[in-house]
Amino acid sequence: MPYRDLRTFIEALDAAGQLKRVKTPVNPVLEITEIADRVSKSPAPEAASAAPATDPVHGTTGGHALLFEQVKGSDIPLAINLFGSYERMRMALGCESFEALADRVQKLIKPEPPTSLMEKMKMLPELAKIASYPPKQVKRGICQEIVHTDDADLTKLPILQCWPFDGGTDDQVMVGHPKTPASDSDWIGRYITLAGIYTNAPDGSEPNIGMYRIQVTGPKTALFHCHVHHDGARHQRMWAREGKDMPVAIAFGGESVLPYAATCPLPPAVSELLFAGFLNGGGIQLCPAKTVPINVPANAEIVIEGYVSATETAREGPFGDHTGFYSLADQFPTIRITAITHRENPIYPTTIVGLPPMEDYYMGKATERVFLPLLQTIIPDAIDYHLPRWGAFHNFVFVKIRKEYPYQARKVASAIWSAGQMMLSKFIIIVDEDVNVHDEQEVMFQVGANVDPRRDTFVVEGPLDILDHAAPFCGAGSKIGIDATRKIPGEGVVREWPEILKMSDDVKQMVDQRWSEYGLG
């Protein structure tokens, strides 16, 4: 089962040998990033579960989760890299394997109809469990053991400056001169990075959790960075059209499934809170915020409350992003802080992004596996897919299909470009069903062997990730599909297609049986 709150999860990581405590004082300006970056790229500790912890391509990485007990400028401990390995992601989600969780998703979205009275009776406990997934309202939570309103101060939190140019000028990024000074008292480059951002539509409907970066600009001010196609930005536009500031809550911690649920590319009609309840095996407890009309996770460590301006914007960024480059500055709405609540002796969770692999890679890999059944509901041709970590989530997608008709690969690529956040995919490579899409060498062998560039590639124009600095326009440019399947008649000029080399099964079986006779070990 997942864990009821952040510290219970941290205690479990500690008991499993997945956590290291840093007791010496450390600086939240750059120093913690350098430590966490080195650890996230180091070997992972031994996995406690029976499921493999090793990436089939890249080996075992992720290091340990880290708890910094003394952060300069704050009395609050800081936790980072909590989700930065396959094993820790499995622990957070309470599953033995991502595939087992994907099976649960499959049964939820496409259940087998009962064929007998006994099968109907067996379904009753499962239906009762489904009824428990919606959030549960409580009057007050541990997140409100201590309440700050007039004395609310963001600078009391151990918020990181992650990279040297964060919060500087675009010119400093382009010429390679960090902003100065980078000191404990400089808050221009400090960012909240691992919080659930809670928003609603103006009528109180459509409760949404996103995970967007928040740049802190002072004790009671911040900036709301949310990409235009995300629900949080859509809500802000709805409030602004009515001439009203949007209430927002920024929540840290809570049930161990919440950070993951906030990042999931769910279908528009599916609530993140409902999905979190599904992952949690029971509804997430919510309580009313103190100064804004929003329900917040009762078991959170810290909650920041405030209002996103309908009219006022300010310069946000640059920010060292998951692409491995700085995303440049732009105008984003300001936030006015009205309260900070927290439990007694809270822990502040955070993350860093940058050149992979980092913590976000493992959260993304969990999504890749868990959401395969959802992808297959809209693209049934897709047998499996893989997002290579060097593709930074959006740059590359490998898909395998069971090819049955001409130009099927083009149809599948077009379907992926219409599937939620996968519309941002820049390179899509389609291979046959006998190819292991998780073996990147094997995929690229198929590209080299099966692709005629003129016949088998197709370029389209469309939306791209706004962080893609190679695009000719912000958020728009070209993307390419590559059909690396065996070609069949009807797909242009196709010569006779050869068979790939493969030993006969009887010879392989004979050699298996005689292997010990050869003295080869």
3-state secondary structure at position 305: strand
Q: How far apart are CA 104 and CA 99, in angstroms?
A: 9
Long-range contacts of 514-517 (CB under 8 A, 24+ apart): none
Q: How far apart are CA 259 and CA 363, in angstroms?
A: 9
**What's the rounded Cα separation, in Å, for the pair 303 and 339?**
8
- Two tokens at 445? 């062998």
Beta-carbon contacts of residue 260 (< 8 Å; ≥ 6 apart): 83, 89, 92, 93, 279, 363, 366, 367
What is d(CA 326, CA 315) in angstroms, rounded to the nearest whole number?
15
Please give the C-alpha separations between residue 201 and each of 235, 277, 513, in angstroms, as whole numbers.
5, 21, 67
CB 22 within 8 Å of CB 32: no
Q: Are 428 and 416 in contact (CB under 8 A)?
A: yes
Which helix (H) or strand (E) segment holds residue 249: the answer is strand 246-253
Are the CB atoms for 56 and 80 separated by under 8 Å?
no
- Radius of gyration, alpha carbons of the chain: 25
State the burial class of residue 315 (Cβ atoms within 10 Å of its Cβ: 0-12, 13-18, 19+). Answer: middle
Amino acid at residue number 237: R
C-alpha span between 468 and 475 (Å, rounded): 7
Instruction: In whole angstroms, give the CA distance from residue 286 to residue 159.
Output: 25
Q: Which helix (H) or strand (E) holds 365?
A: helix 359-370
Instruction: Choose the catalytic residue: 55, 166, 231, 321.
Output: 321
Q: How far is CA 320 from the centre of its chain?
A: 16
Q: Which parts of 370-446 are beta strand (E)?
A: 382-386, 396-401, 427-432
DSSP 3-state of 130: helix
Angle among Cα 186, 190, 196 to the nearest 5 degrees reads 155
Rounded Cα distance between 259 and 487, Å, is: 43
Query: If we measure between CA atoms, which residue out of 294, 291, 384 comes closest to residue 341?
Result: 291
Nearest to 316 by CA among 213, 246, 466: 213
Bond prior to 318 in cis (omega within 30° of 0): yes
The answer to whether 321 is a known catalytic residue is: yes
| Residues linked to residue 19 through DSSP beta bridges, in sequence order | 65
Q: Find all residues with CB under 8 Å of 200, minimum gap 6, and list them.
A: 206, 207, 208, 235, 247, 293, 294
Residues with a catalytic annotation lie at: 321
